[in-house]
Chains A and B, each alone.
Chain A
Amino acid sequence: MKRQVPLVLCFVFGIVMIFTQFSPHSFSQWTYQEVISWALIIGPFALVLATVTLIQTHTARIRRRTEHWQYSFVVFAGLIIMVLIGIFLKPQNPMFEWLYNNVQLPMDATMFSLLAFFIASAAYRAFRARTFEASLLLITALIVMMGNVPIGDLLSNDTASKARQWILDNPNLSARRGIILGVSLGVISQSIRIILGIERSYLGGGD
């Protein structure tokens, strides 16, 4: 029950999904569509579970008074306000949109923009031409960076953007292709192992 059934389920669903892709029969197509919509239904449950875990973690932090435990209340406040307004007034409600546009959106964008600062700091402290390979990476990066902005063309008489385009189109493309081919083989081989029940680590440890 604990190990065999999941392995069988995994096998059956995997094989069915493979088969339906080789079969244009209307029954296969119907099955395909139906199972796809199941995956859409199962998804939200996982999200709710993740939220429950989040709530548990923060409740534990408050209970144990770990460092900065007061901020866990801020997490709850954000969560509850968003959920209450969203559920009762629907996501199209102006109040919900206001919260999204003025609270979530600016914070999300700002968080990621912090990386611009870190890149600059890393550029000064960490990016060193220590080896031949590292130098190649650095030089390409500099060319692409300059090719990505108009000032590069202004300083180099239009060669920067052409060089960037050539690099992206040629050596970059073949490297990507090599990676795509290799990683895809890895993904397919893992998928085969999963369907055949050889790879079981997703079941976690225990019996």
Chain B
Amino acid sequence: MIKIIQWLAICLVLCLSVGTAFSQGLAPPSNVTAVDTPNDDGSSITITWDAAVEGGGISGYQILRRIADGELEAVGDLLPVGTTTYVDSGIEQGTAYAYIVRALSETEATVDSEQTAPVEGKDEWFHTGKIPLFITMLLFSAAIVWNIYSARSGKELFVRRIPGLEAVDEAIGRATEMGRSILYSTGLGGVSGVATIASMTILGQVARRTADYETVLRVPCRDPIVLNVVREMVKTAYLEEGRPDAYNEDDIFFITESQFAYAAGVEGMMLREKPAAIFLQGTFYAESLILAETGNSVGAIQIAGTDSEHQLPFFIAACDYTLIGEELYAASAYLSREPMLLGSLRGQDWGKILIFTAIVLGVVLELSGVSWITMLLQRVS
């Protein structure tokens, strides 16, 4: 009797559990697809499937794969319910894999999806997500090049007035009147730095004026290569002004490559020679304040210019005029009128207009609930 009851109980439990499984419908994952992951180097395949119906009894998924007719193998760990994609990055390139998504219930019952068609991981030559970036790059390059060429073909390009530059003549004039020297530092940067190049171009223009006025121009250098280029530039400037006799090579000299020793050297010069005008143009680091403060204390007119953001506050506070960031690049274009510099300056301005437009348009669109500008700028990873 007890045995029969036991059997009945077991049967009942079995029926019930099978029933629940059926009634809750431990349905196989549907719409399973496996595709080569786009925009990668062919090292992964992406598997996607539809989300399980809520209350379907599914507690997780296991991804299985097989090569041709080989054995099924499990890939990765158990995925929690709610997952609908998996990227299998452990594949061999050139081998085709077929995938099955296995759904698991809490009672450890399992049900498999249909097997996908075999897919291979493929190398892609171009990342389609980076198209906006690519187009922007091409547009901007075209803008720069076009402007340079139009400047070279003789078109007048306008550059706005830059406050510090008017002081250049004033400073040189004052030095001439007082019969004192002018000190010009090209900063600590190497010859390939944007700021150093700009500084050397400005120096060339300053040298033309000092050649006319016969004012002594002293240039302490920190980089031996910069030293050579500067000598060449100043010499050319004096030649072109017809004053090669006034050029003195020893006025342009190397101090040392060490940062603080350079600063100490220039500081010493300031204190001894008391120059009437000091130009600090180029890349500067922590020594900027030592230079600017000492220059201030000897009463020189100081015109500074740098794109080293951290040093700008010190220059602004301690110097009479300061060229801020891009103004330094613009100043070199303004003074030298070189088509290449003028052209790219205008190209950069076009870039700014593009940014303006993007911001204004983006704000207006965002406010009206459309966010495709933000989407376009979204990072691609």
Q: Chain B, 288-314, contact with A by CB distance < 8 Å: what is the 0/1 string? A: 011011001100000000010100011
Q: In the complex, identify which listed stretch (A37-45, A87-95, A111-119, A156-164) lies at the interface while the others stay far away.
A: A111-119
- Could you say which residues of chain A place their CB within 8 Å of the CB of B167? none
The answer to whether A193 touches B344 (Cβ under 8 A) is: yes
CB contact list, B336-381 vs A, under 8 A: 340, 344, 347-348, 351-352, 355
Residue interface mask B120-149, A partner, CB < 8 A = 1: 000111110010011001001100110010
Interchain CB contact under 8 A, A205 and B232? yes
Closest Cβ of chain A to B352, distance in Å, is: 7
Is A198 a contact partner of B293 (Cβ separation < 8 A)? no
CA gap between A199 and B192 in the complex, in Å:
10
Interface residues on A, range: 35 or more
- Across the interface, which residues of B come within 8 angstroms of A204, CB to CB? 191, 225, 228-229
Say yes or no: A127 contacts B317, CB within 8 Å.
yes
Restricting to B266-292, which residues have a CB under 8 Å from any CB of A? Answer: 286, 289-290, 292
When C-beta atoms are compared, the residue in chain A nearest to B191 turns out to be: A202
- Rounded to whole Å, the gap between the CB of A64 and the closest CB of chain B is 13
| CA A165 to CA B352, docked complex, whole Å | 29
Candidate in A122, A127, A199, A204 with the most chain B CB atoms within 10 angstroms:
A122
Contacts of A115 in B (CB 8 A): 286, 289-290
Which chain B positions have C-beta within 8 A of A198?
145, 148, 340
Interface residue A134 (Cβ < 8 Å from any Cβ of B): yes
Residues of B in contact, count (CB < 8 Å): 59
Given contacts A23-B125, A185-B351, contact A118 B289 (CB under 8 A): yes
Is the beta-carbon distance between B313 and A185 smaller than 8 angstroms? no
In the assembled complex, B22 has its CB within 8 A of some CB on chain A: no
The one of A22, A26, A112, A127 in contact with B123, judged by C-beta atoms closer than 8 angstroms, is A26
Residues of B within 8 A of A18 (CB): 137
Which A residues are in CB contact (< 8 Å) with B347?
189
A70 to chain B, nearest CB (A): 15
| Contact (Cβ within 8 A) B326 A182 | yes
CA distance A43 to B341 in the complex (A): 30
B325 lies within 8 A of A24 (CB): no
Are B134 and A22 within 8 A (Cβ)? yes
Select from chain B the residue with minimum beta-carbon distance to A53.
Answer: B224
A136 to B42, CA, bound (A): 56
Question: Is the CB of B262 closer than 8 A to any CB of chain A?
Answer: no
Residue in B130, B141, B293, B307 whose CB lies within 8 Å of A122? B293
Contact B140 A121 (CB under 8 A): no
Task: Enumerate chain B residues within 8 angstroms of A137, measured Cβ to Cβ.
Answer: 313, 316-317
**Chain A residues near B123 (CB-CB < 8 A):** 24-27
Docked Cα-Cα span, A179 to B286, in Å, equals: 20
Assess the A125–B257 pair: CB atoms within 8 A: no
Interface 1/0 per residue, A106-136 and B, CB below 8 Å:
0000011001001101100111000001100
The 10 closest A-B pairs by CB, nearest first: A26-B41, A126-B318, A122-B293, A185-B351, A202-B192, A25-B123, A185-B348, A205-B232, A127-B317, A189-B344
B residues with a Cβ closer than 8 A to A are 39-43, 93, 123-127, 130, 133-134, 137, 140-141, 144-145, 148, 191-192, 194, 197, 200, 224-225, 228-229, 232-233, 254, 256-257, 260, 286, 289-290, 292-293, 296-297, 307, 309, 313-314, 316-318, 325-326, 329, 340, 344, 347-348, 351-352, 355
A interface, CB within 8 angstroms of B: 18, 22-29, 50, 53-54, 57, 111-112, 115, 118-119, 121-122, 125-127, 133-134, 137-138, 141, 179, 181-183, 185-190, 192-193, 196, 198-199, 201-202, 204-205
8 A-B residue pairings within 8 Å (CB atoms): A24-B123, A26-B43, A57-B254, A111-B260, A115-B286, A183-B307, A193-B344, A201-B191
